[in-house]
Amino acid sequence: MPTPFQPRDNLPTSSKKSYVILSLCFVAFGAAIAILTSLINYQLQFSNIDEEVQRRFVIERKNKVEDLSQTVQSLEVIVRALAENQLTQAFIDNPNSATRTAAKHLFLASAHSHRGFMQVRFIDANGFERIRVDRSKDGQRVDVVADEKMQNKRNRYYFTETAQLPARQFWHSKLDLNVENGEIERPVRPTYRVSTPIFSNNQFAGMVIINAEAEQMLSQLVYSNDFDIFLIDGDGEILFHRDAALAWSRYLPGKESFKRVMPDVAAEILVSPNAAVGNVQSFSIDEYYRSGERLQVVMIPKLEAVEQLQSGNMTAATVIAAIVVLISFPLSWLAAMFPARLQSELRSALDALHRTNEVLDRYVISSTTNTDGVITNVSSAFSEKCGYALWELEGKSHNVVRHPETPVSLYQDLWGTIRSGKTWRGELHNRKKSGEDFWIDSVISPEYDADGQLTGYTQISQDINDRKAIEKLLVTDVLTQVHNRRKLDEVLATEMERFKRYQQTFSVIILDLDHFKQVNDNFGHQAGDAVLTRVAELMKETVRKADCVGRWGGEEFMVVSAGTTLNGAASLAEKLRQQLLSLSFDYPIKVTASFGVAQCQVGEALNQLIKRADQALYHAKETGRNRVVSAQEDS
């Protein structure tokens, strides 16, 4: 018999066996629960793969539709801006050398501003190309095509179809390949055309049409990390694919159609746009490319993307099984399921947030500051736009990109608005690190923490350089690069309104170059243009920044001097007169000018002010020229 103090190691063999068996059963039970739990979780994760693929498809479709819409709308806006531009309308209403040259400059500026434009044209009501700007094949040069190389396009389909459209409507071509001398250009250049009709006195007067290179636009459309993407038309032909061997089956021989490449799904997708056949999804883009081709984007999940999802799910299932085995409690599988699901949802949310933040950082011009206006963060788009890296901007204010000519009053209004808790919106003129100017349309809002305390300000901006360039063309004299008559009329109206409301005086100087006709007659119009250009440059260099210099017409110029009395304006005119005498040219030319000066009076209309300045100018001419005459107040 064992003694009362026999050690446990000396327990009977049967008791040891029972202990081991019970322990093994417990461990086996825990392992079985872990395996069962892992299998269930693995199956659940596999069912989530289809949901994840669908979710990624929805995000990709949304992003691509937004990009397409923005691209097409941007092209339509430019076509309309050219068609409705004052310079184009002036050429249509009064077709002469001057108006045509001005319109050519407008079309040339548009082509220079957009590297994707292959051709920009104005075609008149009879089908003749009147203005045509072509880009070279290498994309480096833009030229105005000579008259003898222009053609009659009256019988071309784009002319006849555009001519039937009502005003302010757009015609869209099919997505096709550029053709030269009757053959498809090699390497191929995808092309897309947009046009709009122009009407004058309710009569069709012509059209503006832009040929745009579509390679970048289509490459962006079919690019995806998760999907293999085809762009097909309603006949099942493949228009574009990342693999060039599959693209343009409609136009290139030896290419297989989508019906041959994907026979199992092609028939149903072609019959039902926005269809889902198995794991193949499609959606129509006819709403944006209104060419009648019934275009569809077909998206097929990439094998490597699906395998990556499966691998991630297998890893998650294995981790959960290990946790349950280690814990070895029958109820541990309940606790394991929740972290797994939470991990999957958190990963999905973080992925979506990361992708969204990447898009916002890449494409949205934004910045944040503290309450003192010191920059704390900027987007990559902001850095790219201004040329400064984030480390160069952090700790500084936006004054580092502020244009020196921006009025102080604008920033006073901006800070007054946001410090009162309101949102400010407006246009800001900035300067890049390189010294180039750029314009943005900004929305600046205050930011608050959970306790309602102000933490700083957020600025979201949009690039409006192209719009500003067009606006500048509308108010700039093409030859002299000073303000044109339209801009002068606007400034005069503004100053007169300010005078009436706030009694802030202003004066007007009109100068006329003496014997200018003799310059053109004796030395030619090229010499006359050189004189006008140099006189304009001298005037800009001489007057104040607050003064407005413009070409009033022909050889007449005007200076609108805000806050300046008659004596002050007369002194400025005399200074200009003397400096004109010192100008030298490549021709034996001596330039003088006669000046008429007038100050606005109480109760006087704008046309009366201009008339008095004009009369003073006339008096200067009549009394010998090369002098300044001030208009006296009406008695």
Q: Which domains does the chain have, with CATH numbers?
A: 17-80+303-352 (no CATH), 85-216 (3.30.450.20), 227-301 (3.30.450.20), 364-465 (3.30.450.20), 475-630 (3.30.70.270)
What is the distance between the alpha carbons of residues 234 and 84, in angstroms, rounded to a whole number? Answer: 35
Position 273 scores a pLDDT of 77
Position 335 scores a pLDDT of 47
What is the distance between the alpha carbons of residues 331 and 168, in angstroms, rounded to a whole number? Answer: 71
Per-residue pLDDT of 92-143, as tens digits, reads 999 999 999 999 999 999 999 888 899 999 999 999 999 999 998 888 899 9
Position 19 scores a pLDDT of 46
Taking 3-state DSSP, the helix, strand and coil percentages for the chain, each rounded to the nearest 5, stand at 50, 25, 30
Position 457 scores a pLDDT of 92
Q: List strands edge to edge, sheet with 454-463.
A: 375-378, 365-369, 454-463, 437-448, 424-431
Position 175 scores a pLDDT of 87
Instruction: Give this prediction's pTM.
Output: 0.46
Name 554's Cβ contacts closer than 8 Å, sequence gap at least 6.
Answer: 516
What is the distance between the alpha carbons of residues 221 and 242, in angstroms, rounded to a whole number? Answer: 10
Position 97 scores a pLDDT of 92
Beta bridge partners of 301: 227
Position 454 scores a pLDDT of 92
Q: Using 50 as the pLDDT threshold, list the residues of the chain that sit under it.
A: 1-11, 15-16, 18-19, 22, 332-336, 340, 635
∠ Cα 454 458 464 (to 5°): 155
Per-residue pLDDT of 411-437, as tens digits, reads 888 998 989 889 998 888 888 888 888
Position 354 scores a pLDDT of 76
Position 13 scores a pLDDT of 54
